[in-house]
């Protein structure tokens, strides 16, 4: 006897719907159990009836399976990027590459390389930047030199002060000592 094709649509009769749910649920739970035994698969099956009642099957246990699912789902979520997000990242990368190229050119120009490609105005601008940089470097160098000179002066004055203090401190001589007899 051959079964006829089942048309998938909501069963209107509530009694027939509950009976079908019960039979199909039992078949689904049986198939899950068979699959876990035959293939050593970890299976978690959760079913909510239309009334909100919970039915579940898990091998080995539901908490282990849900933990694995959450861990795996989280790693998949990190790897999935929307096409819009990828497009934004691509544009940002292009901008950064352009910026890097510009900075590399400026670095070469500041080191006196590839100057043949520049016009008078660009050369004047680089000269101005380098002049400003040289003044800042000179100023910082002068500040460090002055700080070093001050520290040397303090050290020298401290040593001179100690020598003077030693030279004017009265010395005790042995003649001042009275011996008791």
pLDDT digits (tens, 9 = 90+) for 129-161: 999 999 999 999 999 999 999 999 999 999 998
- Residue labelled with tokens 């080191």: 111
Tokens of 36: 């876990």
Of residues 4 and 10, the one with the higher pLDDT is 10
Domain edges within the chain: 14-79, 81-115, 118-166
> For the ranges 53-57, 82-86, 114-118, which has the lowest average pLDDT?
82-86
Tell me, yes or no, if the pTM score tops 0.85.
no
Return the pLDDT at 78.
Answer: 57
For residue 74, pLDDT beyond 70: no
Give the start-end residues of each E strand in 29-166.
Answer: 43-48, 54-59
- State how far the Cα of 129 lies from the Cα of 135, in Å rounded to an integer: 10
* pLDDT tens per residue, range 16-67: 989 999 999 999 999 999 999 999 899 999 898 888 888 888 988 888 888 8
DSSP 3-state assignment of 100? Answer: helix
For residue 79, pLDDT beyond 60: no
Pick one of 2.60.120.620, 2.40.30.10, 3.40.50.880, 3.40.1810.10 as the CATH number of 14-79.
3.40.1810.10
- State how far the Cα of 67 lies from the Cα of 40, in Å rounded to an integer: 18
Residues 59/33, Cβ–Cβ less than 8 Å = yes
- State how far the Cα of 96 lies from the Cα of 92, in Å rounded to an integer: 6
Mean pLDDT, residues 87-92:
86
Question: Does an H or E element contain 31, and which?
Answer: helix 14-39
Q: How many CA atoms lie within 13 A of 8 on its CB side?
A: 0
Tokens of 41: 């698969």
Mean pLDDT, residues 5-20:
87
Count of positions (residues) in the chain: 181
């Amino acid at each position: 006897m051959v079964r006829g094709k089942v048309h998938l649509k909501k069963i209107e009769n509530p009694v027939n719907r509950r009976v079908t749910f019960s039979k199909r649920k039992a078949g689904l739970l049986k198939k899950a159990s068979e699959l876990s035994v035959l293939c050593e698969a970890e299976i978690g099956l959760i079913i909510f009836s239309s009334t909100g009642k919970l039915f579940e099957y898990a091998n080995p246990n539901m908490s282990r399976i849900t933990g694995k699912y959450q861990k795996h789902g989280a790693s998949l979520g990190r790897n999935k990027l929307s096409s819009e997000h990828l497009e934004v990242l691509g544009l940002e990368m292009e901008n950064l590459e352009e910026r890097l190229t510009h900075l590399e050119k400026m670095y070469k120009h500041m080191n006196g390389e590839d100057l043949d490609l520049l016009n008078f105005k660009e050369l004047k601008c680089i000269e101005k930047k380098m002049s400003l940089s040289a003044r800042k470097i000179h100023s910082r160098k002068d500040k460090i030199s002055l700080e070093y000179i001050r520290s040397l002066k303090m050290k020298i004055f401290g040593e001179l002060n100690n020598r003077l203090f030693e030279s004017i401190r009265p010395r005790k001589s042995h003649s001042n000592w009275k011996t008791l007899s």
